[in-house]
Amino acid sequence: MTHVSDLIAEDIEQYLEAHENKSLLRFITCGSVDDGKSTLIGRLLYESKMLFEDQLAQLEADSKKVGTQAGDLDFALLVDGLAAEREQGITIDVAYRFFSTDKRKFIVADTPGHEQYTRNMFTGASTADVAIILIDARKGVLTQTRRHSYLVSLIGIRHVVLAINKLDMVGYSQEIYNRIDVEYRTFASEIGLQNIVTIPMSALKGDNITELSVNTPWYRGETLMEHLENIQVEDAEVKSGVFRMPVQWVNRPNLDFRGYSGIIVGGSVKPGDPIRVLPSGRESRVARIVTGDGDLEQAISGQSITLTLTDEIDISRGDILATTDALPSVADQFEATIVWMSDEPMLPGRPYLMKIGTRTVTVNVSTLKYKVNVNTLEHVAVTKLELNEIGICNLGTDQLIAFDPYKEDRDTGGFIMIDRLTNNTVGAGMLHFALRRSQNIHWQAININKQAHAAIKGQKPFVLWFTGLSGSGKSTIANLVEKKLHSLGKHTYLLDGDNVRHGLNKDLGFTDADRVENIRRIAEVAKLMVDAGQIVLVSFISPFHSERQMARELVEQGEFFEIFIDTPIHVAEERDPKGLYKKMRRGELKNFTGIDSPYEAPENVEIRIDTTVQLPVQAAEQIIIYLTEAGALGRP
């Protein structure tokens, strides 16, 4: 690694001292396959002397063998790790490259240029301070350029380098350079991108990369490397701002020490500073700033520390410690932008996990307002978000959370969404603001509560949730169970899928998105009835795990019994009590569960009824016995 500095050979200690004080810059390069992105990254690695002889020898050999530059060094080959994968058909995503100069250490997020582009570029950009947007001088500003720029502005990167590349292919024309520069700036200002620096270059020939090129005598600005070394960024991770620290871990080695560990994501802190804990709102003062290197007089954004406070108050992981001067907001309803990253579409109403800072809560999208076409920036009405789509929506969380708008603070306003069944990260989002209604609608404290309702009826309230295919026998069995409960003197109510679709849910159809909303409403109604002390029987196909799980979580533990009416589809079709299968076979019904709309069979349910071996009366009997044994039919 032949760093140019002579200091290495002459005075290594002085060199090391100088290098201790290097800063760190993270950037992303955006461009399509043919814009010369790989060549540029390869060139930067080469020019910063980060290549060893064995790697260089390999590069020379590969350039001769498979290179595209007639035997000259093909820098793109240095970063082709991803190309190999592409051939194997494996998911391609972000690769990180490293190089450093005497002034700075750099981390480059390298994302491939086509498929999965939105997801990958968004991921790579989330930690970047600067974006380099590459333009092929022969082609000018393309749709893809607009898409990349929109994503850059969306993720909030404040510094853009417009690299007008392949200038050697257009005779280093200043006129072409100027035309592209003007056209780009006009577009960029529309989407709110500022701080744009344009550099004419050829990554392939090395023009204006580390040395000003004789081919562009009309250009008097910095070279790309100089610009990257000198650019002053209010970097993504090290913000000035106001003090914020999400509590990661309560540090409790013994009874005499109770500290709160975390990384400061904004501002600075000193012993004696007043702080507020959110969302609880309790206040205290900082006693000590503890680190493995001893106590600090002050800690700043970007440092991982442990704070102790002057008061013993209840603080746990997920809380935010903030300066009392400028508080984050606390809410449970928001407007947000969501970028969807999963093959399974995002359905409004479906519950997901949301991780924001160090807190994980349940979230669902209450309204999907529109998606943004990333190529034209048009707003398009949709009912769900597919992979790589960007949507603006309202969402609600099951708990109050403290947050700042994303554009003010990435760390307290950015979140990921996690699928509750697969545990995969399926989306990312940015909070805009709290919805007024969440701040103004308060939960009314009611004196006559569930216990009181239940006591006067002399029963324990609960939900019996019947799930199964159309024609499986759900309603028949639920009816029999209700009759038996009624004869036992229980106050019951049967919510039947068909009946509810005539009223409350008559605005809903049978798409996946509507099915989710159908179940969400019914689960909420069931919850209200349980609160009213009622025993509720719900007989709905309810095809998805997620929504059954959501219904279960709406009530308390022990108040939900899931009953899987297990009837194979061919048996259900033979029975066809409502003639629906016949209609479907004639092509008159679409989105039929079990045929062209999925049914996710439950795995861990309280009761499973196999209707191929049990008659409905026997099934009802089995359910009553189960409930009796579980103690559900006793007094409250």
Partner 1 sequence: MLTHLQRLEAESIHIMREVVAECEHPVMLYSIGKDSAVMLHLAVKAFYPSKLPFPLLHIDTTWKFKEMIEFRDVMAKKLGLNLIVYINPVGIEKGINPFTHGSAIHTDIWKTQGLKQALDEYGFDVAFGGARRDEEKSRAKERIFSIRSAQHRWDPKLQRPELWRLYNARKNKGESIRVFPLSNWTELDIWQYIYLNNIPIVPLYLAKERLVVERDGTLIMVDDDRLPMDRGELPMVKKIRFRTLGCYPLTGAIESEADTLTAIIQEMLLAKTSERQGRLIDHDSAGSMEKKKQEGYF
Interface with partner 1 in residues 333-372 (CB under 8 A): 341, 353, 355-356, 358
Residue keyed to tokens 């003062």: 285
d(CA 207, CA 228): 15
State which of residues 18, 60, 86, 95 lies at the interface with partner 1 (CB under 8 A): 95
Report angle CA 354, 360, 365 to the nearest 5 degrees. Answer: 25
What are 161's two structure tokens? 């380098």
Please list every residue from 58 through 77 that binds partner 1, using CB under 8 A.
Answer: none
How many CB atoms within 10 Å of residue 494? 19
* Alpha helices (runs of H) in 488-544, residue ranges in sequence order: 497-502, 512-531
220 CA to centre of own chain: 42
State the binding string over 504-543 for partner 1 (x if CB under 8 A, else -): ----------------------------------------
218 belongs to the binding site for partner 1 (CB under 8 A): no
How many residues make contact with partner 1 (CB under 8 A)? 81
How many CB atoms within 10 Å of residue 270? 12
Helix axes 512-531, 545-554, angle to 10 degrees: 20
564 belongs to the binding site for partner 1 (CB under 8 A): no
CA dihedral 544, 548, 553, 557 (to 10 degrees): -140
12 belongs to the binding site for partner 1 (CB under 8 A): yes
* Alpha helices (runs of H) in 216-333, residue ranges in sequence order: 224-230
Residue 414 in contact with residue 126, Cβ under 8 Å?
yes
Residue 543 in contact with residue 598, Cβ under 8 Å?
yes
Interacting span for partner 1 (CB under 8 A) from 83-91, 190-198, 525-533, 557-565: 83-91
* Alpha helices (runs of H) in 191-245, residue ranges in sequence order: 224-230
Look at residues 242, 324, 316, 240 and name the one whose alpha carbon lies nearest to residue 275.
Answer: 324
Measure CA of the first residue to CA of the last residue in the chain; give whole Å: 76
Residue 236 in contact with residue 271, Cβ under 8 Å?
no
How many residues are recorded in the chain? 636
Q: Which is nearer to partner 1, 262 or 616 (CB)?
A: 262
262 belongs to the binding site for partner 1 (CB under 8 A): yes
Q: Which is nearer to partner 1, 293 or 588 (CB)?
A: 293
Smallest gap from Cβ 338 to partner 1, in A, equals 12
Smallest gap from Cβ 33 to partner 1, in A, equals 17
Could you say which DSSP state residue 251 is in?
E
Interacting span for partner 1 (CB under 8 A) from 137-145, 221-229, 421-429, 519-527: 421-429
2 belongs to the binding site for partner 1 (CB under 8 A): yes
96 belongs to the binding site for partner 1 (CB under 8 A): yes
604 belongs to the binding site for partner 1 (CB under 8 A): no
Smallest gap from Cβ 197 to partner 1, in A, equals 21
Q: Which is nearer to partner 1, 164 or 390 (CB)?
A: 390
Could you say which DSSP state residue 635 is in?
-
The reply to whether 470 belongs to the active site is: no
82 belongs to the binding site for partner 1 (CB under 8 A): yes
Interacting span for partner 1 (CB under 8 A) from 279-287, 406-414, 455-463, 468-476: 406-414
Q: Which is nearer to partner 1, 291 or 622 (CB)?
A: 291
317 belongs to the binding site for partner 1 (CB under 8 A): yes
Smallest gap from Cβ 322 to partner 1, in A, equals 17
Q: Which is nearer to partner 1, 189 or 424 (CB)?
A: 424
Please list every residue from 133 through 172 that binds partner 1, using CB under 8 A.
Answer: none
What are 614's two structure tokens? 């049990």
Interacting span for partner 1 (CB under 8 A) from 257-265, 396-404, 534-542, 595-603: 257-265
State which of residues 303, 362, 479, 622 lies at the interface with partner 1 (CB under 8 A): 303
Smallest gap from Cβ 91 to partner 1, in A, equals 5
Smallest gap from Cβ 603 to partner 1, in A, equals 12
Smallest gap from Cβ 115 to partner 1, in A, equals 14
State the binding string over 98-117 for partner 1 (x if CB under 8 A, else -): x-x---xx-x--x-------
Q: Which is nearer to partner 1, 355 or 521 (CB)?
A: 355
615 belongs to the binding site for partner 1 (CB under 8 A): no
Q: Which of 342, 470, 542, 546 is catalytic?
A: 542
Which CB contacts under 8 angstroms, 24+ apart, belong to 482-490? 482/537, 484/620, 484/624, 485/535, 485/624, 488/633, 489/458, 490/459, 490/535, 490/633
9 belongs to the binding site for partner 1 (CB under 8 A): yes
Beta partners for residue 337, in sequence order: 392, 430
CA distances from 505 to 11, 408, 435, 498, 555 (A): 78, 40, 25, 10, 21
Q: Which is nearer to partner 1, 263 or 508 (CB)?
A: 263
State which of residues 28, 238, 322, 372 lies at the interface with partner 1 (CB under 8 A): 238
Please list every residue from 265 through 284 that binds partner 1, using CB under 8 A.
Answer: 265
Phi-psi region of 272 (alpha: psi -120 to 50; beta: other; left: phi over 0): left
Q: Which is nearer to partner 1, 96 or 218 (CB)?
A: 96
Catalytic residues: 542
